[in-house]
Amino acid sequence: RWYPEVEPRDGAYVRPAIRLESGAKSALDPNRPITITPYVAEEAAGIDLTVADVTTIEATRTFWDKVVIAHGLRRWYERRGELRQEGQRVSRHYYDLHCLLGSETGKAALGDLDLGADCVRHARMFFDRPDYDLPSAVPGSFAIAPAPKMVDALTRDYANMAAMIFGTPPSFDDILESARQIEQDINTHS
């Protein structure tokens, strides 16, 4: 069944569907319980849809997971001369990094190199591919910002992805600048 969009838009890039991903490969630390209220609760006056004590992974880990993904995307491109998944649905990782960098959580994550090393260890154990070059995912040699020849495809992907963002999406140039800043900050901590 297809569900109506919160903000109806034309285009098939974002389908009105829900995809749940789960598996035993996800790292769970650090985590904490939080209360979640779904967006639909705003439309269901008088019904309490909040769910208490949902174990969630801390956003600091999400930050580092995205750093590792961005590193893998860049190294894949450098080794193969093509974007992984033809650049489809990957700009979201750079968007997430941009948003996290602008938060206190992202700033705290940048200083937690031990957590970054744990995320790399986890990725090497469960998601490693030679072309990701995860052994080089260490301070001093992280490659997070897209290579120049990746940018056009990522920009198109981001324009298509913008329908998933509430409000006005940040410019992709700002997102690229954040990726460069993250790369520089992490690599100068070597």
Query: What band does 106 get if pLDDT is binned at 50, 70 and 90?
Result: very high
pTM of this structure: 0.88
Which value, to the nearest 10 degrees, does the dihedral of the CA atoms of residues 8, 9, 14, 17 take?
20
Query: What band does 24 get if pLDDT is binned at 50, 70 and 90?
Result: low
Q: Is the dihedral of CA 127, 128, 129, 133 positive or negative?
A: positive
User: What are the tokens at 54?
Assistant: 């949902």
Domain ranges of the chain: 59-187
Mean pLDDT across 48-75: 96
Q: What is the pLDDT of residues 116-129, one digit of tens each?
A: 999 999 999 999 99
What was the pLDDT predicted at 158? 96
Q: How many residues does the chain have?
A: 190
What was the pLDDT predicted at 13? 72
Angle 145-85-127 from CA coordinates, rounded to 5°: 75
Query: What band does 16 get if pLDDT is binned at 50, 70 and 90?
Result: low
Among 22-31, 59-68, 156-165, whose mean pLDDT is lowest? 22-31
